[in-house]
Amino acid sequence: MNKLLGSAYLAACGSALALGLTVTSVSADEWPTNDVRLVVPYAPGGTTDVLSRRVADLLQQELDTNVIVENRPGAGSTVGTGRLARGGRDADHTILMASPGHTIGAAIYPDLSYDPIEDFVFLQNMVDIPNVMVVPADSPYESVIEFVEAAKEESMTFSHSGVGSSIHMSGELFKTLTDTNLTAVPFAGSGAALPALLGGDVDVSFENMPTVLSHIRSGDLRALAVTSAERSEYLPDVPTLSEIGEYNLDQFITTAWFGLIAHNSFPEEAQSVMQDALANVMEREEFVDFADQLGAEPGQVSGEEFKQFIVEDLERWENVAQQAGISQ
């Protein structure tokens, strides 16, 4: 009798174990089981929002489920990011389109309620967009060196789209490295900053390429350099700041990056499914064509490599914020 009970018990345990393995396997294969939310920590209409909506459309096709874009703007992207960091019951189906605001916000807001590295998993860097050092068409400066030499002798101004934007911080980095007399002039977004630059009300800007590319091609603005590590295929005759080298500019390499992150409780099986889907999205002709329209380069890192990129980006902007005395 005991042997029979023992056999029955072992059989039951074996069945339960098999059932458990089956359930786990099904869960991994079936994610997502609900709609996916893609949080945009900025207002509608900007580069982050437009990119997110294009990615959501293509990702929806890859995952065969709804991907719903939700805008949560505020405080340089920290409002939406803070909401993600709190996790909650929908954290396993929520992703966020991060950008330099993720690291810059952490650098200039010292009392954030979340850790910009440890509270998240880093899924995929989608695109990198260079900033462009541009001056008005009638500016007397034909090169970066000419501009630096003049800015060491007299006061200059640079426009930006708001405190903590990549445009603002790129200007501050340039000022710090070259030890020039540059004064930041803030505007409520690039839409307001651009007319001041075109009209010569400011001397220079370090704008995102999508904002100024058409004006460079039309001759309304003069591009002196791009901020990426290599020359842009969209402006092949324009040097990088790092290749100029003089005045510590060999240290100037930065881009406006955009990539998807999730709460650190995001399940491993979800990470795997999401990364495969995003890789497919990035290979699609619709995405490649869209990236071309932005003057963007495809992202190269995912997972731990993406995380290390974020760590280094945070260190860079913390140094710039400290030297420039920027804190919110």
Matching fold, domains 34-128+256-324 and 130-251:
yes
Per-residue confidence (pLDDT) for residue 11, from 0 to 100: 47
Q: In this structure, how many other beta carbons lie within 10 angstroms of the beta carbon of residue 234? A: 19
Per-residue confidence (pLDDT) for residue 89, from 0 to 100: 85
In 3D space, the residue among 52, 57, 93, 89 whose CA is nearest the CA of residue 72 turns out to be 52
Going by their DSSP bridges, the two strands 204-208 and 120-136 should be labelled as antiparallel
**34-128+256-324: CATH number:** 3.40.190.150
Distance, in Å, from the CA atom of 48 to the CA atom of 80, rounded to the nearest integer, reads 13
- Domains in the chain: boundaries: 34-128+256-324, 130-251
Partners of 260 in the β-ladder: 97, 124
Distance, in Å, from the CA atom of 79 to the CA atom of 42, rounded to the nearest integer, reads 9
Query: By CB neighbour count within 10 A (0-12 exposed, 13-18 middle, 19+ buried), where does 129 fall?
Result: buried
Distance, in Å, from the CA atom of 243 to the CA atom of 144, rounded to the nearest integer, reads 11
Distance, in Å, from the CA atom of 190 to the CA atom of 193, rounded to the nearest integer, reads 5
The helix-helix angle for 268-283 and 285-294 (nearest 10°) equals 70
Distance, in Å, from the CA atom of 133 to the CA atom of 212, rounded to the nearest integer, reads 10
What's the whole-model pTM score? 0.83
Per-residue confidence (pLDDT) for residue 29, from 0 to 100: 62
Q: 116 vs 193, 241, 246, 254, CA distance in Å?
A: 29, 28, 33, 19
Chain CA centroid to CA 87, Å:
21
Q: Residue 222, SS3?
A: strand
Q: Residue 236, SS3?
A: coil
Q: How confident is the chain (328 residues) per 10-residue block, as mean pLDDT?
A: 43 46 48 96 86 97 97 89 93 96 92 96 96 97 98 96 88 96 90 92 94 94 96 95 95 94 97 97 96 90 97 94 84
Going by their DSSP bridges, the two strands 182-186 and 156-160 should be labelled as parallel
Contacts 24+ apart (CB under 8 A), 152-156: 152/178, 152/179, 152/180, 152/181, 153/181, 154/181, 155/181, 155/182, 155/183, 156/180, 156/181, 156/182, 156/183, 156/203, 156/204
The third-level CATH classification (topology) of the domain covering 130-251 is D-Maltodextrin-Binding Protein; domain 2 (3.40.190)
Query: By CB neighbour count within 10 A (0-12 exposed, 13-18 middle, 19+ buried), where does 10 fall?
Result: exposed
